[in-house]
Amino acid sequence: MVDPIVVENILEQVQQLLEAGDVHQATEILRSLHPADSAEILNRLPQELRDRVVQELDVPELADVLEEMDEDEMVEVVQHLPVDELADVLDEMEPDMAADLLGELDEEQAARLLEEMEDAEEVEPLLAYPEDTAGGIMNVPRHMLRRHMTVAQAIQFLREHYEDEHELFHLYVLDRFRRLVGVVSLRSLILARPEQTLGEIMQTDVLTVPPEMDQEEVARLLARYNLLALPVVDAQERLLGIVSVDDVVDVLEEEATEDIYRLAQVSEDAEIFNPIPQAIRHRLPWLMVNLGTAFISSTVVAQFEGTIARVALLAALMPIVAAQGGNAGNQTMTIVVRSLALGEIEPRDAWRTLRHQLAIGILHGLILGTLVGLIAWFWKGNPMLGVIISLAMLGNLTAAALVGVLVPITLKVLKVDPALASGVFVTATTDVLGFALFLGLATYFIGWLL
């Protein structure tokens, strides 16, 4: 069901059925799949064929499938639905997903849909939070249990209210001001005696998060403490909602992809089969930025045209100095960016991090500089060439460590994602400095090189 090859085959089959006009049979196939798989197939159908299937699906089916899509995909699927049908679908969806979809629509359309919806009061409060925060991924629990309730009463209550609830992990016990006073796991509910009260079996030392916490941080808390769900509370400790582990697994995937793409200077929204104009929008701006820095280093090299005209070999060796600096700087930067993302270091650790990475950079510079110096010497029979390239390497690898630490930490302090732009600064520095150091030293000692 899950194998990409199988999904591919089903997609082909569905597409052929739709093209042959057999919408009924195509829809039956989608119904037989897990909603996550139907969602993938719907996303990959051409718009026109997709609309035909969407019309055939009933409200709960459509809600299930939409919940497996990201925001852009949801909007594509629902754009041709009439308002009243879409309102029904939104009522059926998990409130956090419904809020994400509403947040993508224009304000007027969203307002009209909220008016049409029956459960608007579950969704509306969620619209206040940005979608990448705890508030944006939480759901509002439908129960308010009290500490004097017995286990038997609580089970009775759940039977009445949670027939069809996906997201029941824990029970939340509130006081009369809606403040969270404790949590009861389903496990302890099962293991308790029916006459015990929730107050007796609840856990009171509960980790909570504020609604504005970044979703990535929420995900890491759940991961670090092996939790199934985290309650979101306001400043008065009133329960606002619950973030559950299944929402968060997707967050970790998304955030990792975002970091990987940003480090490679690709827009975080890139996908492998983006239409070509979109793919170019995701990548060309970054190539342009790099072109700018490449021209800067080009003008640096141009300053030394006279030296290069006399010792053309320098042109062959100078990329080595720049490339090694770039690679070492990229290593340091990546470790710093990832450690910042994982919360292993904070900007206040800048000095400690810098000292440590500078030591590594200087050692790399000494080792690689000596090696390259010896190779250059024996290759070209000129010891001075070896000395010059060694010194340039040492200087450039030291600088690489410096920018590799300081650029991402500075961006973090400025509240810019360190993964986003660090690479440009690091490469620009190691290129310019690599060329300038090597060619500058060569110009100074040109008498020894001729």
In 31-111, DSSP assigns E strands to none
> Residue 124 has what DSSP assignment?
G
Q: Is 152 in the site for a copy of itself (CB under 8 A)?
A: no
Q: Is 142 in the site for a copy of itself (CB under 8 A)?
A: no
Strand, helix or coil for residue 185? strand
Q: In angstroms, rounded to a whole number, what is the distance separating the alpha carbons of residues 347 and 416?
A: 13
Q: Is 206 in the site for a copy of itself (CB under 8 A)?
A: no
- Of 246-275, which residues contact a copy of itself (CB under 8 A)? 246, 248-250, 252-253, 256-257, 259-261, 263-266, 270-273
Q: Is 15 in the site for a copy of itself (CB under 8 A)?
A: no
Buried b (16+ CB within 10 A) or exposed e, 199-225: bebbeeebebbebebbbbebbbbbeee
Q: In angstroms, rounded to a whole number, what is the distance separating the alpha carbons of residues 161 and 208?
A: 24
The first and second tokens of residue 5, run together, are 């090859």
Q: In angstroms, rounded to a whole number, what is the distance separating the alpha carbons of residues 138 and 209?
A: 11
Q: In angstroms, rounded to a whole number, what is the distance separating the alpha carbons of residues 201 and 151?
A: 9
Q: Give the number of other CB atoms < 10 A from CB of residue 80.
A: 12
Q: Which of 59, 228, 391, 446 lies at the binding interface for a copy of itself (CB under 8 A)?
A: 228
Q: Is 144 in the site for a copy of itself (CB under 8 A)?
A: no
Closer Cβ to a copy of itself, 17 or 350, answer by number: 350
Q: Which stretch in 18-26, 74-82, 130-138, 306-314 sits in contact with a copy of itself by CB under 8 A?
A: 306-314
Closer Cβ to a copy of itself, 129 or 438, answer by number: 438
Least separation in angstroms between residue 89's CB and a copy of itself is 19
- Of 361-380, which residues contact a copy of itself (CB under 8 A)? 363-364, 367-368, 371-372, 375
- Of 73-112, which residues contact a copy of itself (CB under 8 A)? none
- Of 32-51, which residues contact a copy of itself (CB under 8 A)? 34, 36
Burial class of residue 163 in the structure, from the number of CB atoms within 10 Å of its CB (0-12 exposed, 13-18 middle, 19+ buried) = exposed
Q: Which of 80, 148, 179, 224 lies at the binding interface for a copy of itself (CB under 8 A)?
A: 224
How are beta strands 170-174 and 180-185 bridged, if at all?
antiparallel
Q: Which stretch in 22-30, 137-145, 172-180, 279-287 sits in contact with a copy of itself by CB under 8 A?
A: 279-287
Least separation in angstroms between residue 331's CB and a copy of itself is 5
Q: Is 394 in the site for a copy of itself (CB under 8 A)?
A: no
Q: Which stretch in 58-66, 142-150, 213-221, 408-416 sits in contact with a copy of itself by CB under 8 A?
A: 213-221
Q: At what angle do helices 95-104 and 83-92 cross, to 10 degrees?
A: 140
Q: Give the number of other CB atoms < 10 A from CB of residue 179.
A: 13
Q: Is 331 in the site for a copy of itself (CB under 8 A)?
A: yes
Q: Which of 31, 356, 374, 384 lies at the binding interface for a copy of itself (CB under 8 A)?
A: 356
